[in-house]
Amino acid sequence: MINGEVRNNANYSSTTSSNEDCISKCQNNVSCIVMEYNSVSGLCRQWEYGVFAIEATVMKTTPETNPNSHDFKTILPNDTCPESLDAINITFVSYFFILVYVPWTKVDGGWTIGICPDGFKRFNRPFRYVCIKAVPMAYGVSKLDAQAMCASMNANLIGVDSEAEATWMWEYVKQTATGDTNRYWMGGERAVTFSKTNFKYEDGITINTAPLMNGSISDLSITESGIVNENSTDFENCLNIRYENGVTTKIDDVACSFTGVSGAFCGF
């Protein structure tokens, strides 16, 4: 619990109650991410995370300047009780048909949720938002290099969930091309050897494979030669965002050992 104020978002519900009842209501509301209790007026406010993900900032104050106290809903590691919120990573966990994990980000003087860091672009997905960043790297990037770069930013090599995401990524790759072609790694690896569109995403947050099934977005061939049979060895089981002059599709399958790449898309 901290004394503070919520900024950037006015979408909340409010009632008058005791502090204990306010806490209980938030605990029993699957969508409640943070509650505020005013010790003077008895006003209880709750901010909820819904299909249209919330954007909010909780800034620390002192009891002398602000009587509002705030409690975050989070899962504590190993049922521990840390000395302060500064000692843990605060993550909202709930269930909207799928498990949803949404982190609060520590900033100077408080925490934010739903607001992407500088350099990242926010996209709303069903049941959560994601933050994605295009990361230029020296030409010759392996997928392992790309994954390591994303990990260094506390992010993952991210998959594509929608045409909007694919188009934004492709436009960036196109704009940064120094020749007729340019490629960036994205997440995803073919889950079934002879299936054109059956991919799994290692980022833990991409589940939609519809962009891979859309022929105007993806050009998937399974093998480099395009010949697929029991004797094939030239499998292309990983994914790039590809710009190539005269080609309109955006996602291409490549060998997982491929290195003709200039960057990565990282996200969380």
The DSSP annotation for 141-200 comes to --HHHHHHHHHHTT-EEPPP-SHHHHHHHHHHHHHT-SSSEEEEEEEEEESSTT-SS-EE
> Comparing 154 with 185, which gets the higher pLDDT?
185
Q: Can you tell me the distance from the alpha carbon of 216 to that of 209, in angstroms, rounded to the nearest whole number?
A: 14
pLDDT of residue 94: 66
Q: The tokens of 156 are what?
A: 């993952």
Decide if pLDDT at 189 tops 60: yes
- Kindly report the average pLDDT of the chain as a whole number: 85
Instruction: Please report which confidence band the pLDDT of residue 125 belongs to, taking 50, 70 and 90 as the band edges.
Output: confident
238 or 7, greater pLDDT? 238
Residue type at 212? Answer: L
231 CB-near residues (< 8 Å, 6+ apart): none
Chain Cα centroid distance, residue 203: 9
CA distance 264 to 262: 7
Largest CA distance in the chain: 76
pLDDT in tens, 133-145: 999 999 999 999 9
Residue 51 clears pLDDT 50, i.e. is over it: no
Q: Is the pLDDT of residue 258 over 90?
A: yes
Region 52-73: mean pLDDT is 70
pLDDT attached to residue 88 = 66
Q: Is the pLDDT of residue 87 over 70?
A: no
pLDDT band, residue 98 (cuts 50/70/90): low
**β-strand pairing of 156-157 with 128-136:** unpaired
Q: Say which DSSP state 220 is in.
A: -
Distance CA 246, CA 228 (A): 26
What's the confidence (pLDDT) of residue 184? 98
Q: Judging by DSSP bridges, how do beta strands 251-254 and 218-219 pair with one another?
A: parallel
More confident residue, 85 or 171: 171
User: Which ranges constitute the DSSP H helices of 36-180?
Assistant: 143-152, 163-175
pLDDT of residue 40: 87
pLDDT at 3 (0 to 100): 73
pLDDT digits (tens, 9 = 90+) for 54-64: 667 777 767 66
Q: Which domains does the chain show, CATH number per domain?
A: 2-115 (no CATH), 130-267 (3.10.100.10)
Pairing of strands 199-200, 128-136: unpaired
Choose between 261 and 82: higher pLDDT.
261
**Over the stretch 200-255, which tens digit does the pLDDT of each residue have?**
999 989 999 999 999 999 999 998 887 777 777 789 999 999 999 999 999 999 99
Confidence of residue 52 (pLDDT cuts 50, 70, 90): very low
Tell me how far apart the alpha carbons of residues 4 and 26 are, in angstroms, rounded to a whole number.
17
CA distance 197 to 238: 11
Asked whether the beta carbons of 121 and 168 are under 8 A apart, the reply is yes
Model pLDDT, residue 46 = 87
Give me the mean pLDDT over the 113-131 stretch: 83
Look up residue 84 and give its DSSP letter: S
**Over residues 124-129, mean pLDDT:** 80
